[in-house]
Amino acid sequence: MKQYLVVLEHEGNAWGAYVPDLPGCVAAGESREEVERLIREAIAFHIEGMREDGLPVPPPSATETIRVDVA
């Protein structure tokens, strides 16, 4: 099973998500839970489309990051 890094962003009343290893694979929603569900669906759809088009599916290369609190 491949595990892709997903970056979540929150601004105002909206959440966004993207997958660095899958350019163009993005999702947006009104809550974190919604955007997490949507990005999972987007990843599956994105990879399915790449396979149907005969394109290679890139392996995961991004890793988890750390959070740094800045005062």
48 within some domain: yes
pLDDT digits (tens, 9 = 90+) for 7-20: 999 999 999 999 99
Compute the average pLDDT of residues 35-57. Answer: 97
Neighbouring C-alpha atoms within 13 Å toward the C-beta of 34: 10
The proportion of the chain whose per-residue pLDDT surpasses 70, expressed as a percent, equals 100
> Can you give the pLDDT at residue 64?
78
Domain enclosing residue 23, as ranges: 16-52
pLDDT at 38 over 80: yes
Following DSSP, what letter does each residue of 38-61 receive, concatenated? HHHHHHHHHHHHHHHTTPPPPPP-
> Can you give the pLDDT at residue 65?
73
36 within some domain: yes
For the record, the structure tokens of 22 come out as: 């899958």
44 within some domain: yes
21 within some domain: yes
1 or 57, which is more confident? 57
pLDDT at 1 over 90: no
6 within some domain: no
31 within some domain: yes
Number of folded domains that form the chain: 1
